[in-house]
Amino acid sequence: MTDLRRFRVLVGISALLFVFAVVAGCAKPKSSSTAIEEAEYAATEPDDTPTPLYYDFDDVLIPSELKVDKKRSFVYHTDEFTAGVLVLSGRVELNSLIRFFDSNMAKDNWRLNSSFKSPRTILFFTKANRSCIINITEQRFDTEVEIWVAPSTATKDEGLLLK
């Protein structure tokens, strides 16, 4: 009985090897044209990365990961200007936000005047007729962003401390 058992095991292993050889032999190697077609398909697939948005300020781009806190935001619109504060929050890394605002504010013709970087980061931007302060605070589970935009004064001599 042991010889019969060995014979069955040998036949079983041989059958598995034969099936494996047939399957492997029938597999078609990937041609370069197939690889090119797959690369073209991957290039035409829609990009799932969220698109940044402009909210109330038409020259301050906001990452789409940030959501507006309507209860804490206030924006004033007139024919001459738009001013106020937008408060947003979301799960975005602090340094990523700083790079985002540095890059996109420059594209919208804002000039970075100065910044403070610590657990609370403040970026000061100006344009010919407006100023913008972006306050970024990293919290335990998300990051909060306050964007303050105000019209600039007509002359630089005016201010709180008059001589």
Instruction: Say whether both 139 and 90 belong to one domain.
Output: yes
- Domain co-membership, 66 together with 146: yes
Total domain count for the chain? 2
Distance CA 128, CA 76 (A): 19
In a domain, 157, yes or no: no
Looking at the structure, tell me whether residues 64 and 105 fall in a common domain.
yes
Q: Residue 32 is part of which domain span? A: 2-44
| 38 and 58 part of one domain | no
pLDDT at 84 over 90: yes
Q: Identify the band that residue 156 occupies on the pLDDT scale cut at 50, 70 and 90.
A: low
**Angstrom distance (rounded) from CA 144 to CA 89:** 4
Distance separating alpha carbons of residues 162 and 12, to the nearest angstrom = 99
Report d(CA 121, CA 134) in Å as an integer: 8
DSSP 132: E
Residues 96 and 136 in one domain: yes
Residues 90 and 139 in one domain: yes
Q: Amino acid identity of 79?
A: D
pTM, entire model = 0.65
pLDDT above 90 (res 66): yes
Residue found by looking up tokens 């507006």 in the block: 68
